[in-house]
Structure 1
Amino acid sequence: MSKQKIVIYGSYGYTGRLIASRAAELYSNVLLSGRNEQKLKKQAAELNLDYLAVDTSDPLRLENLLNDAHLVIHCAGPFIHTWQPILDSCIRNRCHYLDITGEIGVFEGIKARSDEIAEAKIMAMPGVGFDVVPTDCLALYLKKQLPDADHLELAFMGLGGGVSHGTALTMAENLGEGGAVREDGRIKSVPAAYKTRSIDFGERQRTAVTIPWGDVSTGHHTTGIDNITVYTAMKPSAIRWLKLSNWISPILRLDAVRNLAKKWISKKVTGPDSKARETGESYIWGEVKNPGGETITAHLKTPEGYRLTAMTAIHIAQKVLSGDFKPGYQTPASAYGEDLILEIEGTERV
């Protein structure tokens, strides 16, 4: 594949801006894209890059965007609404697909098309950010330590960070939907805050609660483990609210309620500032268990989540651009191994 252009779609969102800025430091052949031409024009001038405004509902414009692109880094969520047309165009144009989703439905949807993706001789790797690079790598590391493991539990905790506008909108989109775990190989819907567990993150002990994190999908592909649960550290008051949400889930699923939440987010949520990104840290915990009850645990320490996302997304893009990729659907660790995360500055495994 001789094409070299990098397309960043959704480049002016919170995380897209971080990725675009990092890409601009390394490459001149970056094309910024998204729906809003005014935001693109301003960003392109700041970074000295080209841009093209494209709506994912316009297949002809998408073709024009990707027909000479080597890869796209898709940053425009909620991804459940945007991944399919972009992947369709990537397959037609033999353009590698990367995104920063954490949505289980997106991972499953792309995995179901792995043969089609491989036939186009490209790689599709959703989840090249904080969700799911560090957890995916830790999962594979643990599986190799205990090869007969049949249960995997993962958890994470952030210190000094926050939530971006786009992440908050995805959360609003899923109000009232509950959680998800994997049991006996199948993804199972469960209530919000299905389980809690006290977890030693290395730096401190925290109460963590189950969430529908991307590893419920990707962990099975990476490790073959049939039972997977993912937790995040959370304050007791937030856990109580999650449990309450199970009782009012029909109300939370109303369009009017979700739209109200989105309006509030649009006014109030901006994401961590540069100081928080530079000083914040994330702690990842993982545990595997085999049928005999033997357990092994391990930890990762990484930079703040959004900073890490920009680092891992560009790091993986660099690998693809150099010809280092596996055709078809891949997870970060299935393509690049459990030590991929250790190639990122500021990470360590304990």
Structure 2
Amino acid sequence: MDNHKVLVYGATGYTGKLICLRLKELNINFAIAGRDKAKVAELSSRLNVPNFVFETSDFGAWQEALRGGVCLINAAGPFALTAENAMHACLQSKVHYLDISAEMPTYQLAESLDQQAKEAGIMMISGAGLFVAYDALVVHTAKRVKRAQQLFVAFRHYGGFSKGSVKSSKYIVDLGLLIRDNGELKQITEASAKVFDFGEGPQECFPTSLGGIIVSYKSTSIPNIREYFQLQLPVLTTNPTDIENLPDGPTAEERAGGRSKLAVEVIGTDGDSAYSIADLPSGYTLTSLSVVAVACRILNGDLMPGYQTAGSAYGENIMRDIPDSHIIDR
């Protein structure tokens, strides 16, 4: 009998498969879903889990796939094309929603559904991949100053990019450069690079709208936030005609070859400051470990209805649930 508690939509994608392997490793009952019948059937057979095949616009199919479930993990990007239908399906079925989006509009969409989620008794976290560790580190660092006023965050990605990430990064670039200025979102035309030390000496990072201006504003209310990335987003360095010819993503050996890092600087109103680093598994390994860590919390009844972030729901302690992840205070 099918008694899955978690549904992974977009399971046949590069990161979706990593999420499924982590769920399998933890012996969590789950089912998979997607749009490609052959790919879904093959993965279902390999993992010995139930499967569903449907488009995100098919709400009858969503209802069937989510019946009896507790949590949806949406791994199907670009999320601009999947998140809205998936979120509304979860509201209808009263199933908690998680996704691994790095696209800021999906965070804003989840935020706009806060009251509906509370009425349905479900929690919605958009950005439950990288932003689990990101938000936990921000919450941790913000506690080290009296009245946090300014937040600077930098991400050093390791492990290459999946084809899906290259496609999704277009939606980030198209937004332009956004910051949080005195509590308000503000678009700016230019900003200078900033130097961060990830524990191995100074490294120049580029201004990039990563999503913390939504996510970490929710968890900390810090009114001034700027974000940086050590690399240029992949869509800026990839010929559009070459995207479909890219490999699905880095190999296991490539992912294991290095570490991703986050650096956070928080400055208080009195000029006091704190600087902390997170030493993390490489990008896509981190994503799968993180979203499953949040799903496990939900399955154990540890949740807050409404729109949440990892930091607003769990604080810095969620970092303990991500294997081989460490915070270092400077």
Amino acid at match of 1:182: R
Q: Which residue of 1 aligns with 2:194?
A: 197
Alpha-carbon offset, residue 173 of structure 1: 4.1
Q: Which residue of 2 aligns with 1:108?
A: 108
- Residues 87-126 of structure 1 show CA distances to partners (whole Å, capped at 9, x for unaligned) of 1111111101011011111111111111110111111111
Of 249, 263, 267, the residue aligned with 1:285 is: 263
Identity of aligned residues (%): 30
Q: Which residue of 1 aligns with 2:143?
A: 144
- State how far apart, in whole Å, the 1-side matches of 2:265 and 2:286 are: 22
Distance change >3 Å, CA 165–CA 186, structure 1 → 2: same
Alpha-carbon offset, residue 147 of structure 1: 3.2
- State how far apart, in whole Å, the 2-side matches of 1:311 and 1:102 are: 16
Q: Which residue of 2 aligns with 1:253?
A: none
Amino acid at match of 1:152: L
- State how far apart, in whole Å, the 2-side matches of 1:172 and 1:181 are: 18
- State how far apart, in whole Å, the 2-side matches of 1:82 and 1:75 are: 9
Alignment of 1:115-194 (within 5 A): 115-130=115-130, 132-159=131-158, 161-191=159-189, 194=191
Alpha-carbon offset, residue 195 of structure 1: 2.5
Q: Which residue of 2 aligns with 1:254?
A: none
- State how far apart, in whole Å, the 1-side matches of 2:242 and 2:172 are: 15
Distance change >3 Å, CA 4–CA 119, structure 1 → 2: farther
TM-score (norm 1): 0.88
- Residues 34-77 of structure 1 show CA distances to partners (whole Å, capped at 9, x for unaligned) of 11111101111111111110101112212222132211000001
- State how far apart, in whole Å, the 2-side matches of 1:56 and 1:299 are: 38
Equivalences, count? 325
Runs of 4+ in 1 over 6 A off after TM superposition: none
Of 195, 210, 217, the residue aligned with 1:213 is: 210
Distance change >3 Å, CA 63–CA 318, structure 1 → 2: same
Distance change >3 Å, CA 28–CA 348, structure 1 → 2: closer
Distance change >3 Å, CA 27–CA 343, structure 1 → 2: closer
- State how far apart, in whole Å, the 2-side matches of 1:173 and 1:229 are: 19
Alignment of 1:228-243 (within 5 A): 228-234=225-231
- State how far apart, in whole Å, the 1-side matches of 2:139 and 2:171 are: 31
Amino acid at match of 1:93: S
- State how far apart, in whole Å, the 2-side matches of 1:330 and 1:176 are: 25
Amino acid at match of 1:320: I
Q: Which residue of 1 aligns with 2:89?
A: 89
* Secondary structure in structure 1 of the residue aligned to 2:32: strand
Of 255, 258, 274, the residue aligned with 2:252 is: 274
* Secondary structure in structure 1 of the residue aligned to 2:12: coil
Alpha-carbon offset, residue 218 of structure 1: 0.6
Gaps of 5+ in 2: none
Gaps of 5+ in 1: 246-257
Say if 1:24 and 1:49, in contact at 8 Å, map to a contact too: no
Of 316, 319, 334, the residue aligned with 2:312 is: 334
C-alpha RMSD over aligned residues: 2.0
Say if 2:71 and 2:98, in contact at 8 Å, map to a contact too: yes
- State how far apart, in whole Å, the 2-side matches of 1:298 and 1:28 are: 33
Say if 1:152 and 1:286, in contact at 8 Å, map to a contact too: yes
